Structure 1
Amino acid sequence: MNDVRQATAGAPQRDPDPRVLRSRQAALTAAQELLAEEGWSGVTHVAVAARSGIGRTTLYRHWPDVAALIHDAIVQRIGQVRRAPSGDLRTDLVGELNGLRQLLHDPVGEHGMRAVLDRAPFDPAFESLKEALYQAGSAGFRTILETADANGELSPDTELPLVIDQLAGPLIFRRLFAGLAIDADYVNTIVDDVLRLHTARGLTPRPES
């Protein structure tokens, strides 16, 4: 996948050109709309250019392939559903998992993730996209769990990647494979079960609603 999103080490930092930001957002909005309406096959440089009014040359400069465009479209959605941590382990895990729940019910997020699962076995660009989205999607969980581990809230033998899988895996399976809806109670149950397994003092009491 392209390297245009990676900052060049040592490069001087400049304020972004507002025109560039507007063009970029118009392109991402168009890509998100097409992804929601038609799935990954509807996201092409030609279609995004026609809907956004951004020239194809500009699109190719920022996103040389469709996988890069879908990556940024989904990552933007991830950022929109992510919540700032409060410092309370259970509250933060519930919030992060509810963000994933929202993403899985959002046509852009759901169709985008289905596209990745569909194309990754056959397309190296989408295989790279799958890894990049995993890193982006799990970053919030890693931050919360690393903080809890440093504070002594997790059992000493806890493997953080396993905990992330136990948190996010059931939602992804339920929505993308079983095609079932996910509600807030389901999220609370998953978090409480995981905390029961991995917290140093057992399950953190559920706060009164």
Structure 2
Amino acid sequence: MARTPSKAARNKLLSAAAEMLVDEGVGAVTAEEVARRSGVAKTTLYRHFGTTEALVFAVVQQNVAAVDPPDTGTLRGDLAEIHRAYLQVAALRQSRELFVWMVARAIEDPVNRELFRSARVQPRGPTVIALQRAMARGEIDPSTDVDMAMHMIQGPLISMRIVDDSEVGDRALDTMLDMTVRALGAPL
């Protein structure tokens, strides 16, 4: 009879992998090393996650789910806070490497594509909440296509910071926010 994977073992695996991602980058995260550092058997890792890639996606999803969405009272204010928090994380070399790694895995394999999509649902969580609050306040049309708005909001930031590896200063961020808020029909 197969054992049921324990939550404690799962948490140890997630913690070890998260520590490795921060300290050494995604290239260091192997099943063997995560098992060694966590004190959990490699077979347990595979029982919980199936693959090392799935473990990495789970770490990303867990960490981003812990982000509290800001509530400044305006869509622009909320997006500014979300973007600033994102830029702090994206400034780390390991974060950029991890994002590129996740995109590459998503392109290569449909299972990883779904894991990537699931991991991105959480990062978009605070922005979705900001959009929902803006709808409730009457700042934007309640029929706004939230998924399309997400692409519009995240696209420039990802392009500038991750793809171009450009610093996004206050002026660029203000311009980006003004254009986004205007495009969504919200007041500046």
* Alignment pair present for 1:68 and 2:54: yes
Change (3 A) 1:126 1:40: farther
**How far apart, CA to CA, are the structure 1 residues paired with 2:60 and 2:85?**
13
Change (3 A) 1:69 1:25: same
8 Å contact kept, 1:97–1:167: no
How far residue 93 of structure 1 moved from its aligned partner, in angstroms, is: 1.5
1:178 paired residue number: 164
Structure 1: runs of 5 or more not aligned: 5-16, 204-209
Pick from 161, 183, 187 the counterpart of residue 197 of structure 1: 183
- Tell me the amino acid that sits aligned with residue 102 of structure 2: V
8 Å contact kept, 2:65–2:122: no
* Alignment pair present for 1:122 and 2:108: yes
- Tell me the amino acid that sits aligned with residue 56 of structure 1: K
- Tell me the amino acid that sits aligned with residue 18 of structure 2: Q
How far residue 38 of structure 1 moved from its aligned partner, in angstroms, is: 5.2
- More helix by proportion, 1 or 2? 2
Secondary structure of 2:165 counterpart: coil
Which region of structure 1 is more displaced relative to structure 2, 83-92 or 128-137? Answer: 83-92
1:10-29 deviations in Å (ceiling 9; x for gaps): xxxxxxx8xx44x4443223
- Tell me the amino acid that sits aligned with residue 146 of structure 1: Q
1:22-59 deviations in Å (ceiling 9; x for gaps): x4443223212433455444322111012222222332
Equivalenced residues, count: 184
Secondary structure of 1:121 counterpart: helix
Structure 2: runs of 5 or more not aligned: none
How far residue 107 of structure 1 moved from its aligned partner, in angstroms, is: 4.4
Change (3 A) 1:192 1:95: same
2:125 paired residue number: 139
* Alignment pair present for 1:88 and 2:74: yes
Q: Which runs of 4+ in 1 moved over 4 A?
A: 36-39
TM-score of the aligned structures, taking structure 2 as reference length: 0.80
% identical equivalent positions: 29
- Tell me the amino acid that sits aligned with residue 28 of structure 1: L
Change (3 A) 1:109 1:64: same
Change (3 A) 1:193 1:115: same
* Alignment pair present for 1:27 and 2:23: no
Change (3 A) 1:81 1:184: farther
Change (3 A) 1:181 1:52: farther
